[in-house]
Structure 1
């Protein structure tokens, strides 16, 4: 489960609260299209370590705000009462409220976020999340998110990373996920599937994954990834959308299926920062085998691909960012439809789905895929928001991609183009919130979330 409703909405909502309340110039941006920055509580007192718990309510002093005014001032409120707004073409608009505690270290960097919420989604009713994000250092991060809604959806996501900076010999990333998601769509396979073939299904999955990286140097890494996944494809529940088994009764992957993926990858990475890069490149070449059980066999499929991204400063405040991804399934002996290559949505996942921000996630699916993105990340303004520094970026972008079923197909032809503009709020060193608005052949789509799309 990637907390696509609450986790992504957190940063968007925090930003909306900050902008609307305290920053006139950002309010102007919000009038045109939502944008994201970061609001946070004051840092702990200097001269000592960060407070082990979220900041407590300060004792009012003479002349200090009290009553309702104290709750509306983030310098004195016990928490930030954040309005929650999340939008996605597949899941609709989710509204709610998050009481959010943010803690900073002596360098005014966020090192803890506690953010439960109460929300409402038009498809799944009322629900809640419990979230804890920890950023002990540049080299280590972990998070725990749990959620439940009235209908269909519930989940748990625990993630841990250490060795992110590759200063030591080994790096490790691990995660445990349980996710019941009622929003996925399937349109059939092929690069020209019509919008009218849209179906919905409920995906219930359990995932355990780990990646161990051998850091040959700060630039080169050899990594082994193993992922055990059980996926149960159930009938869809969204009103007005046909359920998958009605239109595609014979598609491979209905019901319960299991996958054990083992992947080797080699990474070349010269980026100056993992979260907010300003220059450098990253190239990842990978190959893997997936089976229903047992080691080192491709009873489901075998894969190979390359993923590259580059960042070039054009001016002090402008960066050209480019992303390319190409994935081939070399053998698809009995691969379920959810394991095929797909494009659509707002994020890039190495060896999996790739962005096409004029369409919802998984809009086009087939054996192989190609994706390309160009962004011009321009810093529009900067300001100090309480105890941290915030940059606002405006980012025109172009996405293009396609899927194909024959390996001999030229991947650069018959592309689906998307143009759009993004707004990002950046609080270094770990936080990027975004709103991206894209337009493609089927209309516009809006995505909110945390982190750059690639």
Structure 2
């Protein structure tokens, strides 16, 4: 399972063991602090994680939290060892580095004894042109043996569930330029090479062995995507990673062309609106997101279509549960700060977040009907270590039962 160390921020303050030490700053290979010494908080943690697709994972990790001269967590390193009955033993190393407010680095190395592996590097830099240029890069290679497919449309049945290994490598690059303090134009491109192989869940049939309505599934034999994107963004949020007030509006168009290396030609359109409304000095934050996605083209690969399900969309279902040519999604969440607690020299805000996720996939928006929408109520528990780290556990309920997700960062 990828990023199991994401449980770190959730159970950090409940750990019964831990220590704080001070090390010479020059002993680290990267400049983690401008001072002579670096405070290092070391916390060993158990790992108990669950997701609808992957099942239950057990293990342990040791988290090293390095503080800068402002006593903020600027670096996180977490080696871990875990066991899952589907993937065997997994060894992982996760790291995040925040040298300043303009630049961040995040990486993950993970290898299982069966099928699963994950290698990622994510970089963000907003130090150019007096902060007007926002550069982002994400490079990855992974194999996920827990992937599922149920068919297309909102009526896809769990009885048609199949399993496969989603093996991918690629990159995503983007550059955003601020036209003003609120408006930004973003250009980007991404490359994605996908191979579909037998998965790790033996009691579920392989996707290639199931006869789905409509015949062959586009992309089931693998595909390439090389797409170019253009977005216009209106943003009044007070923070990139932990917003408490403001709105963010985004409209995007992405083109995938055979002539530039894609397996098929198609276009993808997205519109998203997010709003944050605080009360009582941000002790209560009402958050809403409305999103629409539309994919147009012939024989569009199934993993390139509009998809709902998982920790960031419909939290009552596993990843990629609903697939079609478009989707409409509404997320409502109330983030309630319960208390602040400092332990081992690390201050965390503990939050409770009841939520409602409402969404549906369809051929196009005109075909949306009230009966096609999924209604997923739930509740989240968050630990916020400012200014960079948010750990969360979300419990969502769908028609097929409850789902539990563990992750880093807010869902939206």
Cα RMSD between the aligned structures? 2.4
- TM-superposed CA distance for 1:152, in Å, is 0.6
Secondary structure of 2:366's counterpart equals coil
* Residue segments in structure 1 that go unaligned for 5+ positions in a row: 23-38, 55-74, 348-354
Equivalent position to 2:311, from 333, 339, 346: 346
- TM-superposed CA distance for 1:255, in Å, is 1.7
| TM-score between both structures, scaled by the size of structure 1 | 0.83
In structure 2, the partner of 1:239 is 202
Equivalent position to 1:277, from 243, 257, 279: 243
Size of the aligned set, in residue pairs, is 400
In structure 2, the partner of 1:322 is 288
Name the CA distance, whole Å, in 1 between partners of 2:194 and 2:229. Answer: 19
Q: 1:358 to 1:40 in 2, by over 3 A?
A: farther
In structure 2, the partner of 1:212 is 175
Q: How do 1:436-447 residues align onto structure 2 when only pairs under 5 Å count?
A: 436-447=394-405
In structure 2, the partner of 1:365 is 323
Conservation of the 8 A alpha-carbon contact between 2:246 and 2:275: yes
- TM-superposed CA distance for 1:50, in Å, is 8.4
Q: How do 1:34-433 residues align onto structure 2 when only pairs under 5 Å count?
A: 41=20, 52=28, 79-163=42-126, 168-248=131-211, 250-294=216-260, 299-316=264-281, 317-329=283-295, 331-347=296-312, 355-410=313-368, 414-433=372-391
Conservation of the 8 A alpha-carbon contact between 2:60 and 2:81: yes
Conservation of the 8 A alpha-carbon contact between 1:169 and 1:214: yes
- TM-superposed CA distance for 1:402, in Å, is 0.1
| TM-score between both structures, scaled by the size of structure 2 | 0.91
In structure 2, the partner of 1:18 is 13
- TM-superposed CA distance for 1:153, in Å, is 1.1
Name the CA distance, whole Å, in 2 between partners of 1:400 and 1:166. Answer: 40
Q: 1:191 to 1:40 in 2, by over 3 A?
A: farther
Conservation of the 8 A alpha-carbon contact between 1:132 and 1:143: yes
- Residue by residue over 1:240-286, the C-alpha shift from the partner in whole angstroms, topping out at 9 and shown as x without a partner, is 11110111471111122111111100111111111111100111100
In structure 2, the partner of 1:452 is 410
Name the CA distance, whole Å, in 1 between partners of 2:255 and 2:132. Answer: 26
- Residue by residue over 1:64-91, the C-alpha shift from the partner in whole angstroms, topping out at 9 and shown as x without a partner, is xxxxxxxxxxx998x4222122221111
Q: 1:118 to 1:422 in 2, by over 3 A?
A: same
- TM-superposed CA distance for 1:313, in Å, is 1.0
Conservation of the 8 A alpha-carbon contact between 1:145 and 1:157: yes
Q: Name whichever structure is richer in strand by fraction.
A: 2
Conservation of the 8 A alpha-carbon contact between 1:13 and 1:83: no
